[in-house]
Structure 1
Amino acid sequence: MESVYTQGIWLAETLQQRTRSLENAWVVITYIGDPKAAFLLVFPFTYFISKRAGVAVLWVAAISEWLNLVFKWMLFGERPFWWIGESGLFVSVQPKVQQFPSTCETGPGSPSGHAMVTAAVWWVVVSSLGSSLYSHTHSVLLSAAPCLLYVLILVAVGLSRIFILAHFPHQVVAGCITGFILGMVLRRRVPEGRPLLFFFSLSVGLLLSAVMLHVGLQQLGIDLSWSIALAKKWCSHAEWIRLDTAPFSSLTRDCGALLGLGLAQYWKPGGWSLPWAPRALSLAVSSMGLYHVNRLPLPVRPQGLFYGLFFVKFVLVPQVVMVFVPGLVHFFTHKKKKN
């Protein structure tokens, strides 16, 4: 693997040097490809266009990110920003690369979570868009056009992860392929209309199974905190190490979102029954609401409290999009019509 890692470092150096002027664009793209963005950006936008597609996006995002966590624990995988120093191969010739605020993630690197979740979630989006275009135009060529958008998104997100030294190229490719397969499989198994008990059991089951896997691997002498130690050691700015990039943060996000999806469907959301204008208003208000929910400060000590509140935060995400905001918009627009 040394040669693969080494070639990945030199590719990252070339990419940084030749696209230095696009630095801000790469940072924005890597944010859009963040699994968190699937919950906070793609989900509300998709939901108010197509209810089933929106629910599918949330479902696929949660399951694919959970699987990515399991894969990382099993496959390990270095990250470029720490491997440069740990390898000892660049003593005489140091690569001319730099880190960024989004570089210093603390989980293992293989496969890329950004690439994997993006590939899974955006496959749901583009396949739904393609089906809609075909039903309206009956043109195979036009309905296939979203696939080009899909490829462009994956390439952009993958290059952004290499540019900021968060992943090696082979990790990005592995994430894209795995995510694409998951997107095709999971979009056909969307748990729309399932009882709340199903989502509660799924949320608790995924949480407990991941914790048991973590404990089991530790009992076998496998230290799963190795990546956190390396990230802290080699990150150029200590403040770039954030708890919300830790593996257990993604776990609590996924389990919280799934429980939230069950609760939102239990309350029988009415967002999809709104006309187009109130639905657009609901999208705008939901986006602002999720922006502020995401920015809520959480205490980092003790860590158990942080993860518990992080879980609650993502339980709220489907409530805001599917229940609270559409309910308020319906109430005020209905009241206005009466007057």
Structure 2
Amino acid sequence: MTGEDPGVMDYVHLRGVEIIHQIQHTFRHHVDLMQILTRVGDPRYAFLIYFPLAYCFHRPTGTRVLWIACLSEWLNGVLKWILHGERPYWWVNEMKQHDHIVNVPSLQQYSLTCETGPGSPSGHAMVTSAVLYSIGSSFIRHGLKKTRTFERVLVWVSFSIVLLAVNISRLFIATHFPHQVLAGSLTGILLAEAVKHEHTSHLSLRHYVAWSLIMVCGIVITYTGISYLGLDPLWSLGLAKKWCANPDWVHPDTTPFFAFVRDISSLIGFGVGVFLRDMPHHPMKLSIVQKLIYLGMALVLTLSIENIKTFPSSSLFYVIGFLKFTTMMIGIVFVIPKLLNKYNLKKQ
């Protein structure tokens, strides 16, 4: 699918497995920490935590973070379909069934290992690097009154440490090869750098609907094109089910389809929220205390809705996912500010 020499990729994968094996040995006593770090880089937290955090304190930054999160995750899903990348936890087992590669190290699996989509590039690395780069750039531009060199260095050192920690955790749990996390990190940073010059704060509902339709068209074209070539876009799901050490670790919300649903529903929900917010209302400026209250209410909303359990085998799984993220965005952009505004007016 990628046009690369299978022998070359087998060599890259084998060297990658050796690195992963060494990382698993080095951090074998820190399994819980590694799984916490991989959760920090979970793309869903770009929507559940990082976006509300940025939006409640600085609306333009939050808006840009949402766009970055949606675009990076959407592009990541499309690239995964096109690049057809393996994942370590199933690759080692597939290779042990062949004679041309010997001495393939065994890898440990954990509860977060068995992701179902193709592996390249890493979505955790790509979305995390894009979102945190965007937040870091905005903090330097707007958050610091005087951008001293020390403060700028501190921001980028912190960014690098978090991204490195997330990437190591992805290798540790054997869900990505080194070249995949590197590709995801670089692609995410480049995308964030490109989008930071775009004005996203003044977009209206029609812009959000238009971009959502463009993303849907991109998904359909990519899926149809891959199928037309005689390839199965869902090939990785079978391997995940075949080689995952525990069937309960295979979750449908790790598929590209669910990521696409999250991206499109978030954009549409945000657009609807913007439309409702911009209708005649009483504008207000929030104090730091009110912003903290805003953030607290937003996090309670996102995490509560995220914890609503659905049945993965149900045909309504993706529909409910769409409604969940649409509701989150409308709540953060319109409902909570409306409640705060009413409370503020009563005090006056």
TM-score w.r.t. the length of structure 2 is 0.91
Cα offset, 1:297, TM superposition: 1.6
Residue of structure 1 in register with 2:20 after alignment:
12
Task: Point out the more displaced range, 233-242 or 95-104.
Answer: 95-104
Rounded to whole Å, the distance in 1 between the matches of 2:229 and 2:53 is 44
Task: Point out the more displaced range, 86-95 or 281-290.
Answer: 86-95
**1:271–1:326 contact (8 Å) kept in structure 2:** no
**1:235–1:241 contact (8 Å) kept in structure 2:** yes
Q: 1:22 aligns with which of 3, 27, 30?
A: 30
Structure 1 position 268 matched with structure 2 position 280:
no
Q: 1:159 aligns with which of 143, 168, 189?
A: 168
Percent of aligned positions with the same letter in both sequences? Answer: 34
The gaps in structure 1 that reach 5 residues or longer are none
Residues 1:272 and 1:261: Cα distance change in structure 2 (over 3 Å):
farther
Structure 1 position 317 matched with structure 2 position 328:
yes
**2:38–2:166 contact (8 Å) kept in structure 1:** yes
The letter of the residue matching 2:345 is H
Residue of structure 2 in register with 1:55 after alignment:
63
Residue of structure 2 in register with 1:331 after alignment:
342
Aligned partner of residue 270 in structure 2, secondary structure: helix
Task: Point out the more displaced range, 308-317 or 162-171.
Answer: 308-317
**1:218–1:224 contact (8 Å) kept in structure 2:** yes
Rounded to whole Å, the distance in 2 between the matches of 1:21 and 1:186 is 40
RMSD: 1.9
Cα offset, 1:202, TM superposition: 1.3
Structure 1 position 197 matched with structure 2 position 206:
yes
Rounded to whole Å, the distance in 2 between the matches of 1:96 and 1:220 is 34
Aligned partner of residue 198 in structure 2, secondary structure: coil
The letter of the residue matching 2:317 is F
Aligned partner of residue 21 in structure 1, secondary structure: coil
**1:65–1:113 contact (8 Å) kept in structure 2:** yes
Residue of structure 1 in register with 2:304 after alignment:
292
Residue of structure 2 in register with 1:127 after alignment:
137
Task: Point out the more displaced range, 48-57 or 326-335.
Answer: 326-335
Cα offset, 1:140, TM superposition: 2.8
Cα offset, 1:334, TM superposition: 3.4
The letter of the residue matching 1:105 is E
Cα offset, 1:242, TM superposition: 0.8
Task: Point out the more displaced range, 192-201 or 155-164.
Answer: 192-201
Structure 1 position 308 matched with structure 2 position 316:
no
Residue of structure 2 in register with 1:253 after alignment:
262
Kindly provide the CA deviation profile for residues 208-262 of structure 1, in whole angstroms up to 9, marking residues without a partner as x. 3202320222122011111010000000110111111111000111111111121
Residue of structure 2 in register with 1:282 after alignment:
294
Cα offset, 1:190, TM superposition: 4.0
The gaps in structure 2 that reach 5 residues or longer are 1-8
TM-score w.r.t. the length of structure 1 is 0.93
Rounded to whole Å, the distance in 1 between the matches of 2:273 and 2:44 is 19
Q: 1:142 aligns with which of 148, 151, 156?
A: 151
Q: 1:31 aligns with which of 39, 47, 50?
A: 39
Cα offset, 1:49, TM superposition: 1.7
Residues 1:199 and 1:6: Cα distance change in structure 2 (over 3 Å):
same
Higher helix share: 1
